[in-house]
Structures are given as structure tokens and as C-alpha cells.
Amino acid sequence: MYTTAQITAAQEEKLIADASHGDLQAFNELVLAYQNMAFHHAYSLLGDAATAEDATQESFIKAFQAVNRFRGGSFRSWLLKIVTNTAYDMLRRSGRFSSQSLFPEDENGEEVESPAWIRDPSVSVQESVERSETATELYSKMDELPAVYRSVLTLVDLYEMDYEEAARALNVPLGTVKSRLARARLQMQEKLKKTARIPACTAVACLAA
């Protein structure tokens, strides 16, 4: 799992309050706590390290400018929503982002879920990383996923966000998170089945329903 600087909920609350009054040092402490997470989320959306660094830096600037409007709840999902929007803005400017949905939607604007894909809500990729001696290979396979899958897998299975928090961070409906995560896990299963170096009893079994 990607690591962040450890701060308690009480410390975070105080830092946010101080930062909202213009305390740059307090905000820098929040940056230290969340910079790795923000970068890896940006990378999962953009697929390029240099661009992800730019998106992360731009996002923290926007977050500092807007932190006085933060009204509670999950700070990390609030921050990652800014990262999401910044990354998408960068993709639009580069012509790589399409406003057309990649997946069919229902009448409520949520991606249509297939019951065959929603069979594995309990076992995460993180568990297979912990059990497998080939974690590098697993992360490499994750990098092969489309950004919409890689991003939700990163948030839920690596950062252990619940579905609602991930939905806020990605600025998508709850059903979209569930369907993308199911598809992402299914694609990971298929990729790992083709990887002889990863024993089926560890990685594939951990991902299988």
C-alpha cells in the first residue's frame, strides 16, 4: 500500500482549521500527509509521471486557495476530487479526454452494472499484493489497465477507501464506482491468469470470486 505521513484525525482537523485561516505551514503538513496519495491518484488517471507531478502541484495550489471553503467530511476525498478535476482538465487541454461516456448508463446517469461482474465485493487486490511475493508484477499489471479502472482500483483496493468516499473523490455516482471496480478486478484476474510467475493459489485465488 502506498504510504502517507501519519497524522491523527484531531491533528488533521487542527491543520485544516489553521490552513483555512491562511497558515501555509499548517497546509504544508497536510501536503506531506497526502502528497503520495495525490500523486498516485493523478498518475492512475494520467498515466504519465511528469504530468501527474504537475497535476498534483496544481491541485495542492487549488486546495490551499479553497481550503477555507472545506465544510467537513473526508478531507482526502475532497482533496482527491480536486486532483480528479485537475487531471481531467489537463486531459481536455491535451485533447486526450472525451466527454462521451465509455460505458452504457441508465436513466439516472449511472453506469449499467452487470450482475456477472459484481460477484467479488470482499476480496481486494491489496490482499493479493500482501500474499504474493511478486508485488512488482501485480503493480505492473495494474498499470496496464485503462485509467478509469486503474483509478478506482487504486482508491478502493490500495488506499482502502469505501465506495462512497471513492465516488466523491472521482466525482462519479456510487454505482459507477461499483461497476468500474468489478470490471477492474475482472481484468486483473484475466491478466494474472496469464502470468505464470504468480502462483494461482495466491494472486488469482485472492482475486477470484
Same domain for 181 and 134: yes
Same domain for 203 and 129: yes
Same domain for 159 and 90: no
- Write down the mean pLDDT value for the chain: 78
119 in any annotated domain: no
Same domain for 143 and 89: no
Encode pLDDT of 8-36 as tens digits.
999 999 999 999 999 999 999 999 999 99
Count of helix runs (H) and strand runs (E) in the chain: 10, 0
Dihedral (CA of 160, 162, 165, 166) sign = positive
At residue 111, what are phi and psi to the nearest 5 degrees?
A: -65, 140
Residues 150 and 44 sit within 8 Å (Cβ to Cβ): yes
For residue 179, the enclosing domain spans 125-207
101 in any annotated domain: no
Q: What is the CATH number of the domain that holds 196?
A: 1.10.10.10
Residues 173 and 167 sit within 8 Å (Cβ to Cβ): yes
Q: Report which residue type is found at 161.
A: M
Same domain for 139 and 79: no
Same domain for 130 and 64: no
120 in any annotated domain: no
Residue 115 pLDDT greater than 90, yes or no: no
Q: What is the CATH number of the domain that holds 62?
A: 1.10.1740.10
Same domain for 135 and 79: no
The three state secondary structure string of 17-73 is HHHHCCCHHHHHHHHHHHHHHHHHHHHHHHCCHHHHHHHHHHHHHHHHHHHHHCCCC
Residues of the chain with pLDDT > 70, as a percent, come to 70
**Which of 3-7, 29-33, 101-105, 190-194 shows the lowest per-residue confidence on average (mean pLDDT)?**
101-105
The whole model's pTM is what?
Answer: 0.66
Distances in whole angstroms, Cα of residue 84 to Cα of each of 21, 154, 195: 25, 13, 31
36 in any annotated domain: yes
Number of separate domains in the chain:
2
Cβ neighbours of residue 23 under 8 Å, at least 6 residues apart?
none
Encode pLDDT of 159-174 as tens digits.
889 999 999 999 999 9
Same domain for 90 and 13: yes
User: Strands (DSSP E) along the chain, which ranges?
Assistant: none
Same domain for 25 and 74: yes
